[in-house]
Amino acid sequence: MKHWTPLADKVDVNKYNTWLGTQQDLNVGDSLEESQQGHFDFACTHPWDELVIGADGRAGLCCLDYELHAEVGDVNKNTVQEIWQSETMNWYRKKMLKLEYSDIDVCRNCNAYIYQQDKTWAKLQR
């Protein structure tokens, strides 16, 4: 940060994402402790601000679920609006609002809270 701040308009240091626990956690120091011992104590933003659609038309819950294990629909069978407003999407949203992440296989080992915890969305829910 000291080196690049005077040379750039903006400098960010990102924390390492484990892609739903499928990759080794390479965070270091305080970030490692935060990533390994923290958890979502607020609802993840993903089911409210994104819908992932694979090349085959399957729709997934989250951009971190690159194999679409949490499939929420298929644009070959339903419209994006139908998928977005579906019971499946709403089930995930309700589980997250209740902080019942252990009921969601793909979310169980996710460390994305380290990116979202300082956002307004998270602060409003605490």
For 48-107, the pLDDT digits (tens) are 999 999 999 999 999 999 999 999 999 999 999 999 999 999 999 999 999 999 999 999
Gyration radius from the chain CA atoms: 16
Cα 17 to Cα 65: distance, rounded to the nearest angstrom: 12
CB 25 within 8 A of CB 37: no
